[in-house]
Structure 1
Amino acid sequence: MTAPLGTRYRGLICDLDGVVYRGPLAVPHAVETLNRVELPVVFATNNASRPPEDVGKHLRELGVDGEAWSVVNSSQAAAAYLAQRLAPGARVCAVGGPGVAKALEEAGLTPVRVADLDATLVEAVVQGLGADVTWTELAAVGHLAEAGVPWVATNVDLTLPTPSGRAPGNGALVALVRTATSASPHVVGKPKAALFDLARERLGTDRPDTLVCGDLLGTDIEGANAAGLDSLFVLSGSSRLRDLVFAEPAARPTYVAGDLRGLLEPLLPLRDAVPRGRDIGDHAESLRSVVASAWAALDAGRAVSDDAALWDGIEQRLVPQQ
């Protein structure tokens, strides 16, 4: 299997935070790679704080070229979920960034701010990430949920990668509400299949022809597996090599690479045996062999060291520094 990974599929569902950018800055090599990959791309992000057009503007400012790509987010998945269950124009409390209200409007629903709740009854509440979410808004989500109003969380990512390091994600805010109430939300973002199904619908591709790329094992990769899709895990974001080695089977990817440049390489599936004649000095092949060997040992009940410093050292040797 010598063809570049990106040529074996007809469509790519690509995560953003930690894969293409970290906050305002592009991940090294990401933009150049995307501009070389010749297949349609849907950028699918759990980050519901911004409308897709704002995300698209950011991508173009970073240098992503062409027209064969679009953006979908978990706010749109939440809005689609509610639009199937509520009457057109139904009022929905929107908590989070502007992307939440925009998605509800596009789906034919009426977003309502927390400040307007006293004068307006709502039939559901959607909670997404927003930099300006307040205690008052979180308290309102809890009050509505405990009163029996359907509570939809766009996603439950605990962290968000930024240029300064990890920051609290929407999952951290959802956890605050859950801690203070007896309610639990319906989650539509990764690792649920809904966002992947929405992205694949945009691509118009069948499952075997669609590849997912992400940096979080518990969301991107577990979600790809739940949706029946192959996946490329990249080490440019939050999850590390040690996390990959000890991932549960449901969160194990098809391929692994240091970053998006893996799409341009002839990567082999992690489950395949090491081929004879392959250059054992090749970083990509060495990385794959290390992970596959560790999985085989763990699945056979053998011990594998979980020393964090050991795995950090292996990662530094096998993954080109960015």
Structure 2
Amino acid sequence: MSSLQDISAFIIDMDGVLYRGSTMVPGAAEFIAFLREQGKKFLLLTNNSSRTPVQYVEKLARMGIEIDEGRIFTSAQATALYLRQKAKPGTRVYVIGMDGIREALTAEGFVLSEDSKVDFVVVGMDTTVTYEKLKKAALAIRAGAKFIGTNPDKTLPTEEGLVPGNGAILAAIQTATDVEPLIIGKPQKPIFEIALARLQSRPEETAVIGDRLETDILGGLQAGLKTILVLSGATDKDLLESSEVQPDWVFESVKELLERMRGEA
């Protein structure tokens, strides 16, 4: 296995890696500072479509991590870029989701509609999801709208523990329609290709850092990246041992990863 020092660029998840809910994971700020000191390139790549990049900048700043907006890329942005390739501006979309996905879609010229006469149903993380929203989505899909999911994460790491994620919302709609959603975010390869292009980095010199085997690690492996799992979020040792998906490195958190990288520097 190559050394961590051979890695020149990092694609870093946020939920469960840098923070849980509104609480920073110990060592997160120091880890980002170390990457800067070492001249390492990095991009924060999140499957959570609820916030805009600006809102993520503000959230990180409250925790003492200063990040430029350009260093953040979300599944909401990836979804909007995908739809722009498939549909014209003015196309009507029904959205279950929060500011992140709504602003990303409107920025690309899509019209957000509240009725079932739409071409796409786009579903992202929504902490205010209701039966009425699920019903509208199901009716639109049954009427022929294409079903798009920003990300498949079943849970979301918080201070309280793992809570329902977007995958739970998608599952309800899939059950009601018998239609499987097209997933845009991790582990799909295109979002990693966008990240590599933004970093101007090659897969073999890039590592993904994540807390989730089925999105961060699987997606990284499929994209040809090195993979680093941290156990500070959605994955514990029992889940890791029972999984066919295995990362290149495993650390308790970014704090332990930082200690290893400092030792190799």
Task: Provide the TM-score with structure 2 as the length reference.
Answer: 0.91
Cα distance in 2 for partners of 1:66, 1:104 equals 23
Is this contact kept in 2: 1:124–1:151, CA < 8 A?
yes
Taking a change above 3 Å as real, the CA distance of residues 147 and 10 of structure 1, as seen in their structure-2 partners, is same
Is this contact kept in 1: 2:95–2:112, CA < 8 A?
yes
Is this contact kept in 2: 1:37–1:264, CA < 8 A?
no
Cα distance in 2 for partners of 1:102, 1:155 equals 17
Q: What SS does the corresponding residue of 1:48 show, helix, strand or coil? A: coil
Aligned partner of 2:160 in structure 1 is: 164
Deviation, structure 1 residue 89: 3.0
Q: Say which of 126, 130, 134 aligns to 2:126.
A: 130
Structural mapping, 1:1-322, within 5 Å: 5=4, 7-38=5-36, 39-65=40-66, 67=68, 70-106=71-107, 108-114=108-114, 117=115, 121-248=117-244, 251-266=245-260
Deviates more, 1:130-139 or 1:153-162: 130-139
Q: What SS does the corresponding residue of 2:133 show, helix, strand or coil? A: helix
Instruction: Tell me which structure has the larger Cα radius of gyration.
Output: 1
Aligned partner of 1:313 in structure 2 is: none
Cα distance in 2 for partners of 1:232, 1:138 equals 36
Is this contact kept in 1: 2:120–2:147, CA < 8 A?
yes
CA distances 1:155-203 after superposition (whole Å, capped 9, x unpaired): 1111101101110000001111111112111011112122222222211
Is this contact kept in 2: 1:153–1:186, CA < 8 A?
yes
CA distances 1:16-53 after superposition (whole Å, capped 9, x unpaired): 11100011110111111111113222111111111111
The answer for unaligned runs of 5 or more in structure 2 is none
Q: What SS does the corresponding residue of 1:84 show, helix, strand or coil? A: helix
Is this contact kept in 1: 2:53–2:69, CA < 8 A?
no
Is this contact kept in 2: 1:92–1:109, CA < 8 A?
no
The answer for unaligned runs of 5 or more in structure 1 is 268-322
Taking a change above 3 Å as real, the CA distance of residues 68 and 104 of structure 1, as seen in their structure-2 partners, is closer
Deviates more, 1:37-46 or 1:224-233: 37-46
Taking a change above 3 Å as real, the CA distance of residues 124 and 262 of structure 1, as seen in their structure-2 partners, is same
Taking a change above 3 Å as real, the CA distance of residues 23 and 146 of structure 1, as seen in their structure-2 partners, is same
Deviation, structure 1 residue 2: 9.5
Is this contact kept in 2: 1:35–1:65, CA < 8 A?
no
Cα distance in 2 for partners of 1:30, 1:100 equals 26
Report the AA paired with residue 79 of structure 2: A
Aligned residues: 259
Q: What SS does the corresponding residue of 1:131 show, helix, strand or coil? A: coil
Q: What SS does the corresponding residue of 1:37 show, helix, strand or coil? A: helix
CA distances 1:203-238 after superposition (whole Å, capped 9, x unpaired): 111111211000111111011112111110011111
Deviation, structure 1 residue 263: 4.0
Cα distance in 1 for partners of 2:212, 2:67 equals 27
Deviation, structure 1 residue 113: 4.0
Is this contact kept in 2: 1:129–1:170, CA < 8 A?
yes
CA distances 1:284-311 after superposition (whole Å, capped 9, x unpaired): xxxxxxxxxxxxxxxxxxxxxxxxxxxx
Aligned partner of 1:301 in structure 2 is: none
